[in-house]
Amino acid sequence: MTAFIQTSAARTPETAVQDHYIPAEAPFSTFVRKGQVLRIEDSYGQQAVDTLFYNAHDFSERYSSQDTMREQGAAYVSTGTKIMSSEGRVMLTVTADSCGRHDTSAGACSCESNTVRFGAYTKYLHACRDNFVIEVSKHGMSKRDVVPNINFFMNVPIEPSGKMTIVDGISSPGDYVEMKAEMDVLLVISNCPQINNPCNGFDPTPIRVLVWDDGAA
Ligand SMILES: [Zn+2]
């Protein structure tokens, strides 16, 4: 677990330049400009937020979980994490985190993985990979552009043996993570619809995304 960093009292929804309500199970995307601060809020708690970033000017440069973990020498995303691109550049820096546990190893749920893990009857349940494909298609991309993602608010303990399991989330209602954009980025979210494991407390809920112009905390 890492330290909680309080954000500025001046950073309220009233001063945000973007304020989005994202329904349970829904996809979402928006652009965040260099210097802006992005907040993803787990409004009701225990909600995994599958997230990808792309260079807003060249979508072939996108989030790299491998480079992000290697550069910081840690398996989790939290305050201080530099979110790295496939070109080895810093896309965003995590500047605040009231939860302290975000995964970037376990990937996104899909109809295929659900079928393998939970049984054939789950094949037709909505899944994050569907959300990602739907959302990136709005920006001219396709399923080949969906890469391993960040799972904000998803709790995936990794044992010394390397074994990892998705367990109950530790995020409480209103928990949030904030990132300062170090380049213009396209943010793509799947508000995870999974109901077969504890990543959403078996009850997917809405989330909120806010963006501020002022990069100073
Ligand atoms: Zn999912």
Q: What is the pLDDT of residue 1?
A: 44
Helices (H), the chain: 65-72, 111-118, 128-137
Helix (H) or strand (E) holding 180: strand 175-181
Instruction: List per-residue pLDDT tens for the chain, 217 residues long.
Output: 444 555 556 688 999 999 999 999 999 999 999 999 999 999 999 999 999 999 999 999 999 999 999 999 999 999 999 999 999 999 999 999 999 989 999 999 999 999 998 888 888 889 999 999 999 999 999 999 999 999 999 989 888 898 988 888 888 999 999 999 999 999 999 999 998 888 888 899 999 999 999 755 4
CB atoms within 10 A of CB 58: 10
> From the CA of 215, how far away is ligand 1's center (Å)?
30
Give, in order, the Cα–Cα distances in Å from 73 to each of 77, 81, 85, 207.
11, 10, 16, 29
Q: Which pLDDT does position 2 carry in this prediction?
A: 47
* This prediction's pTM: 0.93
Per the listing, tokens 């009850």 go with: 203
Question: What are the boundaries of each domain within the chain?
Answer: 27-212
Cβ proximity of 207 and 43 under 8 Å = yes
CA–centroid distance, 107 to ligand 1, in Å, is 8
CB neighbourhood size of 101 (10 A): 21
Query: Quick one: CA dihedral 58, 61, 62, 63, positive or negative?
Result: negative
Rg (CA), the chain: 16
CA of 158 to the centre of ligand 1 (A): 19
CA 192 – ligand 1 centroid, Å: 4
DSSP 194: -
Cα of 106 vs centre of ligand 1, distance in Å, is 10
Nearest-CA neighbor of 86 among 106, 66, 108? 66
Encoded amino acid at 159, one letter: E
Q: Which helix (H) or strand (E) holds 109?
A: none
Q: Are strands 175-181 and 37-42 parallel, antiparallel or unpaired?
A: antiparallel
pLDDT (0 to 100) of residue 11: 82
Task: Report pLDDT for 8.
Answer: 58
| C-alpha closest to that of 176 among 82, 65, 75, 96 | 96
Distance 128 CA to ligand 1 centre (A): 4
For ligand 1, the distance from its centroid to the CA atom of residue 14, given in whole angstroms, is 31
- CA dihedral 114→132→40→92, nearest 10 degrees, is 120
- Distance, in Å, from the CA atom of 198 to the CA atom of 201, rounded to the nearest integer, reads 5
